[in-house]
Amino acid sequence: MRTGGNARSKTRATTAPDTGFTLIELLLSITILSVVMLITMSLLNASLGQLRISEARFGQFREVQAAFDTMRLRLAGCEINPFYDYEYKNEDMNSVPIGYKLKSDLHFVTGPVMAGEFPLLISGNHNGHGIFFHGTFGMTNETDWKGLGTLMNSWGYYLEFGDDTSARADFLNSENVPKRYRYRLKELQVPAELMRTYAAKLNAGSSREDIFAWFRDSLQAPENVHTVAENIAAFVVTPLVPADSRNSNGALIGENGLAPTYYYDTRNYQHARTNVAEVTRHRLPPLLRLTLVALDEVSATKLEELNGQNKPDLGVDSLFADATRYNEDIQSLEARLQQMKLNYRVFSTTVRLRNARWINTY
């Protein structure tokens, strides 16, 4: 009995272990959590910033795509309305006719606007190419003429660098709001009641200045000119012929054979007595390759900060003079834009002119 009592007296009470955090452990955990949250927030802000830039860039390029599609549709439906009429020796209409020749009262011309042998425009801050033509687009400001979809209009596209004062509300100009200097794709739209092409008597024109007056004069009226896209670095129009086109000797002429310098004029025969001038006489080119090089708004703003109201030099003025070097010139332009760290996108398509009456062999 005594032995059992002694065993009970030797039993010791035990205490529960300490399971809490120390102050140092708590501070260390808070510090690590703060660093993780800071990194997460930084990554989130960067992602949101890139998303906003991407959305803005996509939105702008979407507007350029819409303008590009509109231009393509207009050009596909351009007209020249050729017809056959008497041909007279030495243009003497009082003599006996010697045959028939293709004629037209309209005009189609494309080429460099400020460069080359025959620039389309003689003044202004332009670069790249331009194109001027006619079509039954039904545009009119006369209420009684609305709905007449076959009305003839003068039309055109070209690039211009300048400010935006003519495109914004008057109160913005009066409040000295800073101007935005940009490259812009311009569209010439002449309502049917203001079209003066027929009155210009182009068939009797003695110089290119006389023949080009129908669109040059129309450009002087601000209400005829509209901006269809901003931040367009280059606009290139390449008249093409089918790859199987041959000359009178049966030799292939190549797709650039009728516009080796990008210049195509349906009235060039009035000034140049060449085989090509005669072949293009009142004939639309069967194909047109249209190319737009567009910058995003961030890049355009960067150019404005660097150059102010002066036209930025993107190297376009020295390019696109030889149609056989089109691919090399596009690569050179892209290299130039990449060197300047500008974001861009190239839009290009080939348009078939529905009203072209082309003969593959001439």
How does pLDDT run across 337-348, given as a tens digit for each residue?
Answer: 999 999 999 999
Residues 6+ positions from 139 with CB-CB distance below 8 Å? 151, 153, 189, 190, 191, 192
List the alpha helices (DSSP H) in the chain: 2-9, 23-76, 170-174, 208-216, 275-279, 297-307, 326-339
pLDDT, one tens digit per residue, over 131-142 is: 999 999 999 999
DSSP 8-state assignment for residue 314: -
| Residue 264 near residue 246 (C-beta atoms within 8 A) | no
Average pLDDT over residues 329-341: 95
DSSP 8-state assignment for residue 268: G
Helix (H, G, I), strand (E, B) or coil at 87: strand
Cβ neighbours, 10 Å, residue 22: 9
Average pLDDT over residues 309-332: 92
Tokens coding 362: 């001439």
Residues 6+ positions from 24 with CB-CB distance below 8 Å? none
The percent of residues in the chain predicted with pLDDT above 90, rounded, is: 48
* Cross-strand pairs, 133: 155
Instruction: Tell me what pLDDT residue 1 has.
Output: 46
The residue assigned the tokens 């080359």 is: 116
Instruction: Tell me what pLDDT residue 18 has.
Output: 59
Average pLDDT over residues 38-54: 75
Out of 272-281, 286-295, 309-318, least confident range: 272-281
The residue assigned the tokens 């210049």 is: 263
Out of 153-167, 235-249, 319-333, least confident range: 235-249
Q: What is the mean pLDDT of the chain?
A: 85
* Cross-strand pairs, 290: 237, 349
Kindly write down the DSSP assignment for every residue of 269-294, as one continuous string: GGT--SHHHHHTTT---SEEEEEEEE
| Cα distance between residue 159 and residue 145, in whole Å | 31
What's this model's pTM, rounded to 2 decimal places? 0.81
More confident residue, 49 or 330: 330
Instruction: Tell me what pLDDT residue 62 has.
Output: 86
- Tally: H helices and E strands in the chain: 7, 12
Residue 103 has pLDDT above 70, yes or no: yes
